[in-house]
Amino acid sequence: MKTAYIYLENGVFFQAKSFGAEGTQVGEVVFNTSMTGYQEIITDPSYAGQFVTFTMPEIGIVGANPQDNERETTHCKGIFVRKYQDFHSNFRSKESLSSFLKSQNIMGICEIDTRGLTKMLREEGAMMAIVSTQISSKEELAKTLASSSRIEEINYIQEVSLKNQKTHTQGTFCFESFDFQTPATNKTIIAIDFGAKDNILNELVQAGLNTIVKPYSFQADEIIALFDEGKIQGVFLSNGPGDPMVLSKEVEQIKKLIDKKIPIFGICLGHQLLSIAHGYPTEKLKFGHHGGNHPVKDLKTGAVQITAQNHNYSVTEAIKEVAEVTHINLFDGTIEGVKYKHSPIFSVQYHPEASPGPKDSTQLFREFAQML
């Protein structure tokens, strides 16, 4: 393994080992508390522009396989792990994690104190960093980092969104046959791809929805015309990376859909964009929510669901003026779900499709289908 050099914007500098792609990358460092599913996390487009620190100390033993990818192309900058295990032992494994990362040009950094790094991020907040297998000088790394764009200044959805419209027909993975299902569909929706995980689209299809996926650069007038003609019954707004407040063009298009009172379901970034389109800006959390073990309370039923989450931004309490808060996070009390008072629109901050994570909330996809 080559030596890797890491410099954080708070001035911390340390050395580690590299087991992924070589080179120099700049990104935001966050931590993820999931115990399993590292491949799904790495291939989640919402991590575009970020280094993911895994709190799980041993990573790599189950290798990698094509079925667990959430997108074909990976967009995170790299991963930090305490100990990398190159020997992979799983009947579904096709290659080592190291081989997978190199094929995707993603950095893999190991032999660092991820517990200490996680504590630092928890206390000081998510921060920018530069990682290199080429530059060893602390001063040069600091200079390069200072001159690089911050994550909130970059529109990453331009990179992660699909380029052309497609129809998604694949349902969820069936563990009995180790294949994906193709259920019958009876309603048609437009899914806007801001960086949608494949399993979100799978769950929409599984709920009985014919899912037409459009790029982030969608035109609301085209969707409204399809709705008026009865060719579609609703719209889904996906998850995605980056700061939602920079997506002014997308917000303007969403406003048109809201005014038309088209049924809409939003997840994660889609949840945040709906709030902004209603006139209520989001705020950045100190270190975000990233993991597969976040308790969320359904305020209507009182039930507590364990959820998968991946976001740095949050809808604020001001949204209560136009929406009913339906779910809250039991870790910090932040808003996790809303239902708008005067429109057929609801959204959640967490990931009901999981992958990885618990499946406690998959009924939300069926609720969307029933609403249509």
Active site residues: 268, 351, 353
Rounded-to-integer distance, Cα 99 and Cα 21, Å: 9
In one letter, which amino acid is 339? K
* DSSP helix/strand/coil, 290: strand
Cβ(38)–Cβ(97) below 8 Å: yes
* 123's tokens: 């206390």
Q: Give the closest residue to 311 by CA, choosing from 343, 277, 340, 335.
A: 335
HSE at residue 158, side-chain half, CA atoms within 13 A, is 6
State how far the Cα of 228 lies from the Cα of 211, in Å rounded to an integer. Answer: 18
The C-alpha atoms of residue 68 and residue 117 are separated, in whole angstroms, by 27
Measured distance CA(31)–CA(53) in Å, rounded: 4
User: Using CA atoms, how far apart are residues 169 and 186, in angstroms rounded to an integer?
Assistant: 12
Q: List residues bridging with 306 in a β-sheet.
A: 295
Task: Compute the distance between CA of residue 168 and CA of residue 191 in angstroms, rounded to an integer.
Answer: 10
Q: Is the dihedral of CA 61, 31, 365, 236 positive or negative?
A: negative
**The two three-digit tokens of residue 188, written as one number:** 């048609």
Of 319, 327, 316, 238, the C-alpha closest to 283 is 316
- Closest by alpha carbon to 107, among 146, 76, 63? 76
